Amino acid sequence: MEKILEVKNLNISFDTYAGKVRAIRGVDFDLNKGETLAIVGESGSGKSVTTRTIMRLLSSNANIDEGEILFKGESIVDKTEKEMQKIRGREIAMIFQDPMTSLDPTMTIGKQVAESLRKHKKVSKKEGMKAALDLLNLVGIPDAEKRLKNYPHQFSGGQRQRIVIAIALICNPEILIADEPTTALDVTIQAQILELLKEIQEKIETSIIFITHDLGVVANVADRVAVMYAGRIIEVGTAEEIFYNPQHPYTWGLLGSMPTLDSENDRLYAIPGSPPDLLDPPKGDAFYPRNEFALKIDAEMEPPFFELSATHKAATWLLAPQAPKVTPPLEIQRRWDIFRKKQNQYSA
């Protein structure tokens, strides 16, 4: 498989009054051409910082302490701001968390979509409008021709998110990064937007990085899933491997906290405790204090990755040959069962 993006041993820190925040601590992953990779983890785990580094959109107090990002074999870290401007939006596009802040309330939608094309490519106003119309149709805005003249506030939240996607797609980017594009919207719209991204991907062959804190959302759309915790990837695998054979207790917790939606007395499970302070990261496994299956060594030493298959690896001492065999808690297994049954219904 052709790799379009390679992230190698990325270490990012932020200078703050309280000291250095070690936000990203040795992140490695690849993105293959045409695939959808989901990056999942709790708030503060480093999902946005990782993707903002790929776009080189970090705040001024950020340091890339170590690591390499290769886009089609070329280093992103070494590029000048001018070179990045050619890549940003054109070759790597990003959809941000809140659609309203990404749109200009004083400009019609047609103009906004067309302008974003004209920023990167020499096309006439008329060609820009034609491209805008095609894209609004592609992202499913009904009556697109008429609506080109409407302003952002005249659209629903879901439609605005579609328009933001249209703007991101206008230059036919090779990578589309969607940073939690659906948190502000209700579940049905989330599902529709995800379906839409998937449909679009079939038509234009973009590679997608999809960021979310909700594993349930990505089950139907991700080819591979990377789970992040406290600035590291702690497990990565195909969607099948992560959903059916998860190995890290943190992944178990995330899977256990997916809402099952259908049972009346459904208690929402939350992983107890909170992530470590990244001003002073722990020397052992960062998940140690919250891990009910923690071993003595977790307090002492960072676990390495243990490989389960060519595509699946997890960083937990539970996979060491001498570790005791443990099974995920029954409550979590019960949730998986409900979830799997639903998945099967959908795919049937």
Ligand X SMILES: Nc1ncnc2c1ncn2[C@@H]1O[C@H](COP(=O)(O)OP(=O)(O)OP(=O)(O)O)[C@@H](O)[C@H]1O
Residues that bind ligand X (CB under 6 A): 14, 16, 21, 23, 41, 43-49, 59, 61, 213, 278
Nearer to Mg ion, 48 or 53 (CB): 48
**Minimum CB–partner distance for residue 183 and ligand X (Å):** 8
Query: Cα–Cα distance between 126 and 200 in angstroms, integer?
Result: 24
Instruction: For the chain, list the strands marked E by DSSP.
Output: 3-16, 19-32, 36-40, 62-71, 74-75, 92-95, 175-179, 207-212, 224-229, 232-238, 306-307, 313-314
Q: Provide φ and ψ at 67, rounded to 5°.
A: 115, 175
Query: What does 99 interact with, of ligand X, Mg ion, none (CB < 5 to 8 A by kind)?
Result: none
**Minimum CB–partner distance for residue 47 and Mg ion (Å):** 5
**Minimum CB–partner distance for residue 63 and ligand X (Å):** 11
Residues that bind Mg ion (CB under 5 A): 48
Nearer to Mg ion, 228 or 236 (CB): 228
**Minimum CB–partner distance for residue 118 and ligand X (Å):** 31
Query: What does 263 interact with, of ligand X, Mg ion, none (CB < 5 to 8 A by kind)?
Result: none
Query: What does 14 interact with, of Mg ion, ligand X, none (CB < 5 to 8 A by kind)?
Result: ligand X
Query: What does 49 interact with, of ligand X, Mg ion, none (CB < 5 to 8 A by kind)?
Result: ligand X
**Sheet (strand 313-314) strand order:** 92-95, 175-179, 207-212, 36-40, 224-229, 232-238, 313-314, 306-307
Query: What does 225 interact with, of Mg ion, ligand X, none (CB < 5 to 8 A by kind)?
Result: none
**Minimum CB–partner distance for residue 24 and ligand X (Å):** 7
CA 55, 35, 53 angle in degrees (round to 5)? 15
**Minimum CB–partner distance for residue 213 and Mg ion (Å):** 8
Instruction: For 105-231, list the strands marked E by DSSP.
Output: 175-179, 207-212, 224-229
54 near 177, Cβ under 8 Å? Answer: yes
- Residue (of 185, 172, 182, 160) closest to 102 by Cα position: 160
Nearer to ligand X, 38 or 278 (CB): 278
Nearer to Mg ion, 37 or 170 (CB): 37
Query: What does 313 interact with, of ligand X, Mg ion, none (CB < 5 to 8 A by kind)?
Result: none
164 near 103, Cβ under 8 Å? Answer: yes
